[in-house]
Amino acid sequence: MALAYPGEKSRMSENIARDSFLTALNDPELELKIREREVASFDEALKIAQRLEVFKSAVEMSATGRQKVNRQVVDDVSNELSCIDLEKRVKKLEEKKAGVNKQVATSPVATDI
């Protein structure tokens, strides 16, 4: 702006400079955020753009450090049924083991003499 219109400091030149800057950003989201704040001058637009870019980079940096976790909701009824099934299976195994232990205890032991 200073090269195109040297010495020009009117309100119109500020609007042209601000709008040219916002268009040159080539980032519609950033441009919209700055325009929403209704900045009056190029200097205000520049200051806000710098702050928003710092905020954006800080959020992106913290997001890359976070681990992404996918959560899955499991129906409690199915878990309860599987637990009951496991308990039954364990009980049967314990009964078999107890039966084998009784057989070993009552069987004659061969001794070498």
DSSP the chain: -TTTSTT---HHHHHHHHHHHHHHT--HHHHHHHHHTT--SHHHHHHHHHHHHHHHHHHHHHHHHSPP-------HHHHHHHHHHHHHHHHHHHHHHHHHHHHHHHSPPP---
The pLDDT value recorded for residue 82 is: 74
- Residue 31 is assigned to a structural domain of this protein: yes
The pLDDT tens digits of the residues spanning 28-81 come to 899 999 999 998 888 899 999 999 999 988 888 877 766 666 766 666 655 666
Same domain, 18 and 52: yes
How many distinct structural domains can be found in the chain?
2
This prediction's pTM? 0.50
Q: What is the mean pLDDT of residues 7-31?
A: 86
Same domain, 51 and 29: yes
- The domain of 99 spans 76-105
The pLDDT value recorded for residue 49 is: 93
Reading the block at residue 104, the tokens are 């070993």
- Residue 54 is assigned to a structural domain of this protein: yes
- Residue 5 is assigned to a structural domain of this protein: no
